[in-house]
Amino acid sequence: MEKFEINVLGCGSAKPSPIHNPSCTVVNFRDNLFMIDCGEGAQKEFQRQRLKFSRLNHIFLTHLHGDHVFGLPGLIGTMALSGLEGDITIHTFEDGKKILTSIFDYFNRGLPIDVKFNVIHPEESVIFENSSLRIGTVPLRHKIPAVGYVFEEKPRLRHINREMCDYHDVPLWAFNAIKSGDDFTKPDGTVIPNTLLTKDPLNPRSYAHISDTAYMPDLAEKIQGVDLLFHETTYLTQDLDKAKERGHSTATQAAQIALDAKAKCLLTGHYSSRYKNDNLFLEEAKTVFPNVILGKEGLKIMIDDKLQI
C-alpha cells in the first residue's frame, strides 16, 4: 500500500517541558513530506527521525503562536546549509508571510533556497491539490485566527483482475481505460462489463490535523469518516475552565469530536506541561472513544486497514 504516514515530532504546548518538543508533525504521503507547524527544535527532531530534507517542499502553519513557528528560521537555514536548492512553500496567513519574510530577509539572505508563501485564510478551502492528494483547511476557534488541515487521498484506480482479462483476451493497451472504469468491447462486438474485469480499489484514506482550538461540536461534520484524527488535548477535564479561557480542548472533548466524526482513530497531543503523566490523556479520552493513540515524539502511524486498533 502506498505510504500515508504521520510522524510526531513535537506534542508539547506553549511552555516546553523537558520531555516534549513544541508542535510539529510530518505527513509522509508517498515519500513526499508535508510538515504541519514547526516549533523550536523541529529541525533536530526531523534529523533524529531520519526524515529527508530533500523530500520536504511544503510547510503548513496552523496559526501564528511562537510554539508553532519558532523552529522555521533554523530549519530553512539548515536546509540551505545542507546543500539543498529549489523551493519550499510555507502556507500561512498574510501576517505570517510578513513577519517570516522579514526574519528570512535578515537571517537567511543569500541562501540558495527560495522560500515561497501561499497565503491562506481562516475559511474552509482547498489549498493544495495534485493527482493523488487534496489538502484543505478547516477554520478553528482559538485566541487568534487558526485553521486545521485535512489530507484526503483521491480515489484510486480500480484493480485489474488479471485472470479475467486474460480469459477475455483483453490486450495490454486497454488496461488504463479499464482501470478507470470502462467496459471492454471485444472485436466481435461483445461487451465485457468492467465489474467482471476489475476489483474494487482500496478506500481512499484521510487525515485531519486539528490544533489549536476550543471545542467545536460542528467540526465533526466537516471531517466525517476521517481515518486518523489528530485533535489537540491540551487539558484534562479537571481544567475545563482553563481550556475554555485559553481556546483549547480537553481530552474528553477531542474524543467526543472523534466519536461524532466517526473517525477510525484519535491521536492526542499538544499537552500542557502542567501534567506530569501523559497517560492521563489516553485514559480520559478512552472513556468516550475507544480507539486512541497517545501521541509522543518519534511515533510513526501508518494510515491503513490496521489503523482501527
Chain residues that interact with a copy of itself, rule: CB under 8 A: 14-16, 18, 22, 40-41, 43-44, 47-48, 64-67, 69-71, 73-74, 77-78, 81-82, 95, 99, 102-103, 106-108
Closest distance to a copy of itself from the beta carbon of 67 (Å):
7
CB of 66 to a copy of itself, least distance (A): 4
Q: How far is the CB of 42 from a copy of itself (least distance, A)?
A: 9
Taking a C-beta distance cutoff of 8 angstroms, is the pair 297, 8 a contact? yes
Q: Which residues of 245-278 are buried (b: 16+ CB within 10 A; e: fewer)?
A: ebbbbbbbbbbbbbbbbebbbbbbbbbbeebeeb
- What nine digits make up the cell of 8? 510526531
Residue closer to a copy of itself (CB basis): 106 or 173: 106
Check 67, 212, 227, 278 and give the catalytic one. Answer: 67
Question: Cα(207)–Cα(261) distance, rounded to whole angstroms?
Answer: 12
Smallest distance, a copy of itself to C-beta of residue 307, A? 31
Q: Work out how close the CB of 177 gets to a copy of itself at its nearest, in angstroms, rounded to a whole number.
A: 50
**CB nearer to a copy of itself: pick between 128 and 275:** 275
Can you tell me the distance from the alpha carbon of 36 to that of 48, in angstroms, rounded to the nearest whole number? 17
Of 104 and 230, nearer to a copy of itself (C-beta) is 104
**Catalytic annotation present for 188:** no
Least distance in angstroms from the C-beta of 271 to a copy of itself? 14
* Residue closer to a copy of itself (CB basis): 69 or 170: 69
Q: Which is nearer to a copy of itself, 15 or 300 (CB)?
A: 15
> Catalytic positions, please?
67
